[in-house]
Structure 1
Amino acid sequence: MADFPLTLTRLRFECVVETPLRLGGMRAGNNLRGALVDVMRRATCPYSVPTVAGVSPIPDPEHVATCPVCWLVAANEKPGVERRGYVLTPPLYLPETLKPGQRFAFHLTLVGEAQRYLPYFVLAVPEMGITGVGSGRGRFRLRRIVSETLDGIEEEILGEGDTVLHPPKYSLTHADVLERVERALQTWKGQGMRELNIVFLTPLRLVWNDQLVKAPDFAIFFARLLERLDELAIQFSGGERRSYEERAHLHHLASQVRLIENDTRWTEVPSGSSRTGRPTWISGLVGTARYGAPVGVWRELLPWLVWGELVQVGKDTVKGNGVFRLVL
């Protein structure tokens, strides 16, 4: 699919700690996302604030069409089917407690039409820092925001001390993904078989046949990734459903990938919802898996794997799950 329509903007929010900050390790994404949603609900959407009876009012369709909270973070009409228009990538490998003056960064990726809501996210993050995040409600200050591209180019859209936002000049497209893949393949010339490592940095939580998948089965991983990409393209970038023939072809290629070495483990990660008050779990696989396949197979699968690095995969991507990196 040379004309895959998905576009996105990947933003890095660089922050400075002001009071001791405990992001919670593997719960960092969940804690950051919870603070982000709380701020956006309070500041932007009157319909998301519960009434005295504890029930949120039902918004009218006109409000939903223009409200970033309803469109991006509130309950969907088809829970578990509709995708969110943003992805949160939490900071990794942080100490248990960040001290005042230390720096950290996290990413927000806005997909397709969601890019029009960039200013709301830019306004919400500083407020998150004032309100506090994680155990003890540690506070931070937003230092600057940078837009990233696949070829390593960075564009500062909000500098330290600036009050004027400079919208990113470019969105990432399928052409950018194909260029990155082609650069990688140039180093593979003359090789019939090739091994590739996938490092699962935050819990990979996949469900197949109503069961949690607790092994890095590549075919299942790729099937869920392709499904996610297609749904994002349809919902947020005006795409059309991929043909049955193309899906079948890609699934057949994915079935040829063999797991060579498995150094992953299942990690239990508790979560919770301040809205429902009920405990939940965002557990999943972390670690490294090494796969092998003919170069010709990788050539067709790699574009979708690179897209997956950008949009993550599996359950709870808005809470920071499903972050992985390819080691080519």
Structure 2
Amino acid sequence: MTELPVVRLRFEAEVKQPLAIPYYGGSMLRGAFGHALRRLACMTRQRDCSGCPLVRSCPYTRLFAPPPPSDAPLHNLREVPPPYVIEAPAPGKREWQPGERFHFHMVLLGPALAELALVVEAWRRALAAGLGRNRSRLDLQQVYREADDGAPPQLLWQPGEYVETPKPMSIGELGEGQDGCLTLCLRTPLRLQQRGRILSPDMLDARTLLTALLRRHSLLSQFYGVSQAVDSAALAQQASQVSLHGQLYWSDWHRWSSRQRQKMGMGGLLGQITLQGQLTPFLQALHWGQYTHIGKNASFGLGHYHLQAAA
């Protein structure tokens, strides 16, 4: 079984100025974090990371935009998945007033856990610089490690204190669950792609879903964990024998891309997906995917789901 340390963090901040965020704030939070982390970690002050002599040792690129190792079997990948996932507040509430609490989550994977102090400081600076179109300031108050066993959250940091190193969950601990029938409850839009097209509700099948989940599992494990060889063709064939029943609908939304200076379509699937069949080969990846998400734009929170035993 693949071993990959993972921890989910909860960030609590106090709103200092009226705050308004987009329908889903994951992209906004990711941009704020990336800018603050680069200002904090970059030593050369080059405008672009390409060509930088420190690109493979810089904390910014290691955390936010990791380049593929030159000797890796997957060095031809256009993008290496980063070792984090940002989970914005659930769509719904979009405005906060001074004095209110604003919270969000971040999942760290593998060696990114060793950079926790840097991550916390980058978030503190990002929130102090302001979020949203109006650059509304927030003060970071606490950082917690969310428990995986129902226990109370563990306080890792508050102002004036050192960052406590959290005990990670191991993916091996997450692989136990009910075989035969499981339901994925989608919390944010799921964007799975085939032949350059995002799949609509009637195009999704179990093989597509499970192979996408296994592919993300494999990529993150190769770069950030300890990976074992798997028979992808055999697993794909087994996935074809699983049935999928979806209660799904299309959720459309857009985000503004500062880099491309235009709105980008971010629509995807919401609802519930029930899988029925021999799920044992996929249980670890299914449980693990609750933390690492699935599909396009997972790093800023899309493709988030939780599992429940189907009735």
From 40, 61, 70, give the equivalent of 2:61.
Answer: 70
Q: Distance in 2 between matches of 1:123 and 1:132?
A: 14
Per the normalisation by structure 2, the TM-score is 0.87
Distance 1:113 1:12, change over 3 A: same
Are positions 1:201 and 2:203 aligned together? no
From 241, 245, 248, give the equivalent of 2:233.
Answer: 248
From 22, 45, 49, give the equivalent of 2:42.
Answer: 45
* Paired residues of 2:65 and 2:82 also in contact (CA < 8 A): no
Q: 1:79-228 counterparts in 2 under 5 A?
A: 80-153=78-151, 154-159=153-158, 161-168=159-166, 170-178=167-175, 181=176, 184-185=177-178, 195-215=181-201, 216-228=204-216
Percent identity for Structure 1 against Structure 2: 27
> Displacement, 1:318?
1.5
* Paired residues of 1:271 and 1:281 also in contact (CA < 8 A): yes
- Give 4+ residue runs of structure 1 displaced > 6 Å after superposition: none
From 32, 49, 57, give the equivalent of 1:35.
Answer: 32
Distance 1:130 1:49, change over 3 A: farther
> For residues 35-59 of structure 1, what are the alpha-carbon distances to aligned partners after superposition, in whole Å with 9 as ceiling and x for unaligned?
1011111222155652xxxx66621
Q: Distance in 1 between matches of 2:109 and 2:182?
A: 27
Equivalenced residue count is: 299
Distance 1:227 1:115, change over 3 A: same
Distance 1:143 1:117, change over 3 A: same
Which amino acid letter does the alignment assign opposite residue 14 of structure 2? V
Secondary structure of the corresponding residue to residue 106 of structure 1: strand
* Paired residues of 1:48 and 1:57 also in contact (CA < 8 A): no
Secondary structure of the corresponding residue to residue 51 of structure 2: coil
Which amino acid letter does the alignment assign opposite residue 137 of structure 1? R
* Paired residues of 1:47 and 1:57 also in contact (CA < 8 A): no
Gaps of 5+ in 1: 189-193
Are positions 1:284 and 2:284 aligned together? no
> For residues 84-135 of structure 1, what are the alpha-carbon distances to aligned partners after superposition, in whole Å with 9 as ceiling and x for unaligned?
1111111114412112222232111111122222111100111111111123
Secondary structure of the corresponding residue to residue 19 of structure 2: coil
* Paired residues of 2:249 and 2:269 also in contact (CA < 8 A): yes
Which shows bigger deviation, 267-276 or 105-114?
267-276
Distance 1:94 1:102, change over 3 A: farther
Per the normalisation by structure 1, the TM-score is 0.83
Which amino acid letter does the alignment assign opposite residue 230 of structure 1? S
* Paired residues of 2:37 and 2:122 also in contact (CA < 8 A): yes
**Aligned residue in 2 for 1:59:** 52
Secondary structure of the corresponding residue to residue 280 of structure 1: strand
Q: Distance in 1 between matches of 2:92 and 2:223?
A: 34
**Aligned residue in 2 for 1:191:** none
* Paired residues of 2:193 and 2:199 also in contact (CA < 8 A): yes
Which amino acid letter does the alignment assign opposite residue 281 of structure 1? G
Q: Distance in 1 between matches of 2:284 and 2:230?
A: 17
Distance 1:136 1:58, change over 3 A: same
Which shows bigger deviation, 263-272 or 315-324?
263-272
> For residues 122-174 of structure 1, what are the alpha-carbon distances to aligned partners after superposition, in whole Å with 9 as ceiling and x for unaligned?
00111111111123222222121111232123321113x34211111x21113
Gaps of 5+ in 2: 69-75
Q: Distance in 2 between matches of 1:6 and 1:56?
A: 28
Q: Distance in 2 between matches of 1:255 and 1:106?
A: 36
Higher fraction of helix? 1
